[in-house]
Structure 1
Amino acid sequence: MTTELDAAQAANRLMRLAKLIAKHDRLYHDRDAPEISDADYDALVRENRELEERFPHLIRADSPSQRLGAVPTGPLAKVTHARPMLSIDNAFSNEEVAEFVARVRRFLSLGPDEAVAMTAEPKIDGLSCSLRYEQGRLVLGATRGDGAVGEDVTPNVRTIADIPQEIAGAPDVLEVRGEVYMSKADFAALNERQEASGGKIFANPRNAAAGSLRQKDSKITEARPLRFFAHGWGEVSDPLAETQLLAVERLKALGFPVSDLFVKCDGVEAMLAHYRKIETARADLPYDIDGVVYKVDRLDWQARLGQVARAPRWALAHKFPAEKAETTLEAIDIQVGRTGKLTPVGRLKPVGVGGVMVANVTLHNRDEIERLGLRVGDRVRIQRAGDVIPQVVENLTRDEKRAAYAFPDHCPECGSEAVSEDGEVDVRCTGGLICPAQRFERLRHFVSRGALDIEGLGEKSIAEFIELGWLHSPADIFRLRTHRDELVGREGWKDVSVDKLLAAIEAKRDPDPARFLFGLGIRHVGIVTAKDLLRCFGTIENLRETATGESAQAELSAVDGVGPVVAEALVDFFHEEHNREALDDLLSEVSPKPFESSAKQTEWTGKTIVFTGSLETMSRDEAKTQAERLGARAAGSVSAKTDLVVAGPGAGSKLKKAEELGVRVIGEADWAKIVADA
């Protein structure tokens, strides 16, 4: 469960998930000997993603979301992919599919009458493989590995009948990508032979295919009934076609098997109709699938859309529905998080759902409890959303006459009033730093690994110092040296350990600015957003000046990666007097280093650019992304600090102001030349 955890519990869970998922990645990708089912593994990954979405500031360097698969460690030779083998984001509802298409339209800035064609095909449950052809000859076969580096399985792929050794009419360099799999019938026959000979029994067709492909002895692979489906490509010296559909058809013409259920869809309804068709046929297909993959058909649009982190913006995997079960809601507990949010957690009579025992379930917020009419003792139907995150989908006894559940109007931790802000469904404690739950969490967050990372100042020490009255705010951490003599001699503390802690604190008096900003605990500001903000504003002082200015909301919203929600949180934070006082107090003790951007160094590095009017060849998001790549800041309003205005048709007040201030103004074509020449 994600929403039932506070930040400290979430950090601990993310640490455990990172280690656990890394272990199962090694077992799955490197040894082909998984200890859990695919559904259970997906549950861990989904839980990790949900936690990171709720606590972006807790994303770890070793997070599963930052890598693909596992770095190969087996005996096979390693291969660096010419182009990364990306993963694909998942969707679990029709609404998410519709939003995916809408997101594509927004990014490409398409008009209401301009269609977005998609391809749809079954998501084969196999092992990803890349086949490299040079001058029409197969020269390399490689597994995905971690997406950047895979394993050389060339001798093994040469034994697979579906994979041609030579092709005619192909580009000089062509990497064909697809799935190596084993049919259900062949899998059953293989296990019968394995059992008869006393060999290894495979858990499922995917594991059998993976284990067979990654053999050191290609004769073993040759004896296994492996198949191959092509669905994409990596490096290619000449374009295959102008669309995904035509490119896949060309792969088929070159001799590569492709799915018979691969089609082009015009619009969301057609996509969902094909999804339902494949879902209906799922049980009768000769191979395992776990969803449907959609891809933008036009390849030039794919190129414009690009990718985010480890997944492309132009593709989506629509997974099949969740499993459901019935059980009893035995209790509703309220947990108070670092920001004061009161989160209800349902305690269930344990029940198995999709092979996993579920005892706790998120109830999200007060409105969700009211919507479902939940009371302790109700019989409920639950499901694992996407076969992963448990949630209540129906109250089976809501018509029984019992008193409604009364959501607390006071914090269970400190007794302060609990209220919901206008436009928010969440109920939050108003106690601030007087609330033990919030004070502890804010201080723990400030010194955490992702923030200032003060070694030796852990949860136990923070709790002890709060109890002693030494810690009330982050600035107090840097005044702990005044309590040195009192601390020495306390249980667990000696001269060496005390001096080591104080030295660790002193070493953080000139912290990394992004870590410092993230450590302040501003709602919605994770480490990535903190970097985005400082890349634009340079210093905490400049950010504060902007956040308290007349056009704060517009200026902050214009920063790529920020948006109106984060902007509002920043404005709210800096407009609160006690926050400004606490920040001033903290800055009297520390001096954050200047922000060093990792963006490309160009003549535009550090410059401020404003885009206005109707951009005709790119969307506003694309324009901002281009500016960021040049090291510039894409602002939302024109001021004396603006260095360049890119004006499209219909530019109005911003263009006028730029002319009044003497700011350089160019058109969209000139901007495209700047980007191309950089």
Structure 2
Amino acid sequence: MAARIASLRERVAAADVAYHRDDAPVMSDADYDALKRELAALEAAHPDLAAADSPTQTVGAAPSERFAKVRHAQRMMSLENAFTPEAVADFITRMRSFLGLAPDAPLAMTAEPKIDGLSLSLRYEQGRLVQAATRGDGTTGENVTANARTIADIPAVIPDAPDVLEVRGEVYMTHEDFAALNDSGADRVFANPRNAAAGSLRQLDPGITARRPLRFFAYGWGQISAPLADTQSGAIARLAAMGFATTSPRLCSSLADLLAVWADLEQRRATLGFDIDGVVYKVDDLSLQDRLGFRSTTPRWALAHKFPAEIAWTRLERIEIQVGRTGALSPVARLAPVTVGGVVVQNATLHNEDYIAGHDSRGQPIRDGRDIREGDWVQVYRAGDVIPKVADVDLSRRTNPDHYEFPTTCPECGSEAIREPGDSVRRCSGGLGCPAQAIERLRHFVSRAAFDIEGLGAKQVEAFYADPVLPIREPAEIFTLAARDAAGLARLKNRDGWGERSAENLFRSIEERRSIPLARLIFALGI
């Protein structure tokens, strides 16, 4: 058991460093939460094996040596997590017991979206921003003051503020800005908006941060010389009056109210325009917060009710048909962007026309027979590296009266798309005369498990197929590419996107693959 605990501590600690310090997660949120829950359970069952430096007893990760360090005047804590309604109910019961409240005594709480970004503490003195620091390990963070000053949502001066006020909040990036950043040709392509926000804020050059579209939500406070209000909701309203964007917490009086907010935000998360990964519940009365106090790493008066990491609801904007190398017509759902399992998902497979219609190839119902239509709100799931799939549809939010009509002709070449008896797939009958099939066969031919020609990827194959001067429309033409280029006037090295070195590397890669194992050749030919 000691070995298992040691292994879990090592894995969770490494994941903390990768996520909080390096902005490069090494596992999904779901995997991380599962490992940390297992570690906490084992430590609880074996208190003799507990350790003060265990990841269950620490917050975040040590700050990077690249930045000056800032010691927080008041620790930046983490939050206790819950994953089920029963865990939320237990949280409320424990608080009532701690406070000596009867089950029917009033206990007002707030519920607000849990922003998936980078925690930041802003210190104001006499209403002026004097310091900004990341959470780091909760005690010591990184000084990012110059970078924080470039974020438009962070005011340099605030009115009617206490002499000392530390505003705590989250730096984030909207879905729209995240997509634009990744499409801008930046040196690094980010996996999700959280990584993009963290990487953009933690730059040594504030000029780079200034060019990144970062936003900030305020959700709390640290050291403060005078109280903002008597309640959590009142204090957040005061921060909003000072000019901060806030998460607009909702006031709740019961467990049912809290769970209703969670369900509503879980359904609407794709429409918010930014990532959230759960809902945070807090006791509203600040005097009760003071009585409840803190554990080693978390407050007793707050709870993060997490969403399932690998499931999300979003809008299916349209259905597109892709044609594969065998002529199979594969429907793809184009989705409003939503983060699932730590990755922004915009596309999901719909398998085939039967799956869209709500039944399998034998006529047995799928999803209780509910069909899928353009404009529907759909549940998307993604486990590990599996291609995202549409699992369910919310009929209560359906506005499209028309069933989806699966095409009976190829959208690429117009040939008849035939579905043979007993087959679940409809296929284009155009053969190699269909451009889509020809391109997909070429892509398969040069893929990693086949000829594995470096420099001839999917985009290059498509470009060469359409090239009127130096075309590749069948596999044999790959191996005459260099000779044809040498004999022509418009040399490949002089084209946009190419240079002398990249052209030479491509020709060298092709020559190196003139001889490959028989098994690879058979696979490349699709036999």
Smaller-chain TM-score range? 0.5 to 0.7
Q: Does 1:228 align with 2:219?
A: no
Pairwise CA distance, 1:112? 4.5
TM-score (norm 1): 0.45
Taking structure 1 as reference, are residues 186 and 302 closer, same or farther at Cα in structure 2, changes over 3 Å only?
A: same
Pairwise CA distance, 1:17? 2.0
Taking structure 1 as reference, are residues 36 and 71 closer, same or farther at Cα in structure 2, changes over 3 Å only?
A: same
**1:18 touches 1:63 (CA, 8 Å); kept in 2?**
yes
Taking structure 1 as reference, are residues 17 and 279 closer, same or farther at Cα in structure 2, changes over 3 Å only?
A: same
Q: 1: CA distance between counterparts of 2:100 and 2:235?
A: 25
Which of 40, 52, 58 is matched with 1:49 structurally? 40
Q: Does 1:130 align with 2:125?
A: no
Which of 139, 146, 159 is matched with 2:150 structurally? 159
Matching of residues 68-107 of structure 1 within 5 Å = 68-107=59-98
1:39 match:
30
Q: 2: CA distance between counterparts of 1:316 and 1:166?
A: 31
1:671 match:
none
1:207-257 deviations in Å (ceiling 9; x for gaps): 111111111110010011110000000000000000000000000000000
Aligned alpha-carbon RMSD (Å): 1.9
Pairwise CA distance, 1:311? 0.5
Q: Which amino acid aligns with 2:267?
A: T
Q: 1: CA distance between counterparts of 2:183 and 2:32?
A: 27
1:27-55 deviations in Å (ceiling 9; x for gaps): 22222222323333333222222222332
Taking structure 1 as reference, are residues 151 and 322 closer, same or farther at Cα in structure 2, changes over 3 Å only?
A: closer
**1:31 touches 1:74 (CA, 8 Å); kept in 2?**
no
Which of 224, 241, 252 is matched with 1:265 structurally? 252
2:270 match:
283
Pairwise CA distance, 1:15? 1.1
1:301 match:
288
1:63 match:
54
Q: Does 1:241 align with 2:229?
A: yes
Q: 2: CA distance between counterparts of 1:50 and 1:225?
A: 40
Q: 1: CA distance between counterparts of 2:341 and 2:73?
A: 38
Provide runs of 4+ in structure 1 moved above 6 Å.
none
Q: 2: CA distance between counterparts of 1:250 and 1:60?
A: 40
Q: 2: CA distance between counterparts of 1:203 and 1:21?
A: 20
Q: Which amino acid aligns with 1:227?
A: R
Pairwise CA distance, 1:22? 2.1
Pairwise CA distance, 1:99? 1.6
Unaligned 5+ residue runs, structure 1? 1-9, 325-352, 356-386, 389-678
**2:164 touches 2:225 (CA, 8 Å); kept in 1?**
yes
Taking structure 1 as reference, are residues 207 and 247 closer, same or farther at Cα in structure 2, changes over 3 Å only?
A: same
Q: 2: CA distance between counterparts of 1:183 and 1:145?
A: 23
Pairwise CA distance, 1:61? 3.6
1:260-308 deviations in Å (ceiling 9; x for gaps): 4x21111111111111111110122211111100000000000000011
Which of 8, 11, 18 is matched with 1:27 structurally? 18
Pairwise CA distance, 1:66? 1.4
Taking structure 1 as reference, are residues 323 and 27 closer, same or farther at Cα in structure 2, changes over 3 Å only?
A: closer
Q: 2: CA distance between counterparts of 1:267 and 1:281?
A: 21
Q: Does 1:250 align with 2:238?
A: yes
1:115 match:
106
2:131 match:
140
**1:18 touches 1:62 (CA, 8 Å); kept in 2?**
no
1:209 match:
197
What is the DSSP-based 3-state SS (H/G/I as helix, E as strand, rest coil) of the residue aligned with 2:112? Answer: strand
Pairwise CA distance, 1:107? 0.9
Matching of residues 486-501 of structure 1 within 5 Å = none
Q: 2: CA distance between counterparts of 1:81 and 1:323?
A: 34
Q: 2: CA distance between counterparts of 1:156 and 1:177?
A: 16
Pairwise CA distance, 1:354? 6.5
Unaligned 5+ residue runs, structure 2? 312-339, 343-382, 385-527
Taking structure 1 as reference, are residues 224 and 276 closer, same or farther at Cα in structure 2, changes over 3 Å only?
A: same
Q: 1: CA distance between counterparts of 2:289 and 2:62?
A: 27
What is the DSSP-based 3-state SS (H/G/I as helix, E as strand, rest coil) of the residue aligned with 1:201? Answer: coil
What is the DSSP-based 3-state SS (H/G/I as helix, E as strand, rest coil) of the residue aligned with 1:318? Answer: strand
What is the DSSP-based 3-state SS (H/G/I as helix, E as strand, rest coil) of the residue aligned with 2:177? Answer: helix
1:93-132 deviations in Å (ceiling 9; x for gaps): 1121112112111111123542000000011110000000
Taking structure 1 as reference, are residues 87 and 50 closer, same or farther at Cα in structure 2, changes over 3 Å only?
A: same
What is the DSSP-based 3-state SS (H/G/I as helix, E as strand, rest coil) of the residue aligned with 1:15? Answer: helix
TM-score (norm 2): 0.58
**2:30 touches 2:309 (CA, 8 Å); kept in 1?**
no
Q: 2: CA distance between counterparts of 1:280 and 1:250?
A: 29
Q: 1: CA distance between counterparts of 2:281 and 2:99?
A: 17
Q: 2: CA distance between counterparts of 1:23 and 1:137?
A: 37
2:279 match:
292
Q: Which piece of structure 1 moves more, 281-290 or 110-119?
A: 110-119
Pairwise CA distance, 1:185? 1.2
Taking structure 1 as reference, are residues 223 and 22 closer, same or farther at Cα in structure 2, changes over 3 Å only?
A: same
Q: 1: CA distance between counterparts of 2:146 and 2:93?
A: 44
1:177-230 deviations in Å (ceiling 9; x for gaps): 01001111111111111xx35x11111111111111111110010011110000
**2:30 touches 2:310 (CA, 8 Å); kept in 1?**
no
1:293-352 deviations in Å (ceiling 9; x for gaps): 00000000000000112111000011123659xxxxxxxxxxxxxxxxxxxxxxxxxxxx
Q: 2: CA distance between counterparts of 1:56 and 1:185?
A: 47
The share of aligned pairs that are identical, in percent, is: 60
Matching of residues 377-456 of structure 1 within 5 Å = none
Taking structure 1 as reference, are residues 323 and 130 closer, same or farther at Cα in structure 2, changes over 3 Å only?
A: closer
**1:21 touches 1:64 (CA, 8 Å); kept in 2?**
yes
Taking structure 1 as reference, are residues 186 and 269 closer, same or farther at Cα in structure 2, changes over 3 Å only?
A: same
**1:30 touches 1:74 (CA, 8 Å); kept in 2?**
no
**2:28 touches 2:341 (CA, 8 Å); kept in 1?**
no
Which of 6, 9, 29 is matched with 1:18 structurally? 9
What is the DSSP-based 3-state SS (H/G/I as helix, E as strand, rest coil) of the residue aligned with 2:12? Answer: helix
1:488-528 deviations in Å (ceiling 9; x for gaps): xxxxxxxxxxxxxxxxxxxxxxxxxxxxxxxxxxxxxxxxx
Q: Does 1:314 align with 2:305?
A: no
Matching of residues 545-584 of structure 1 within 5 Å = none
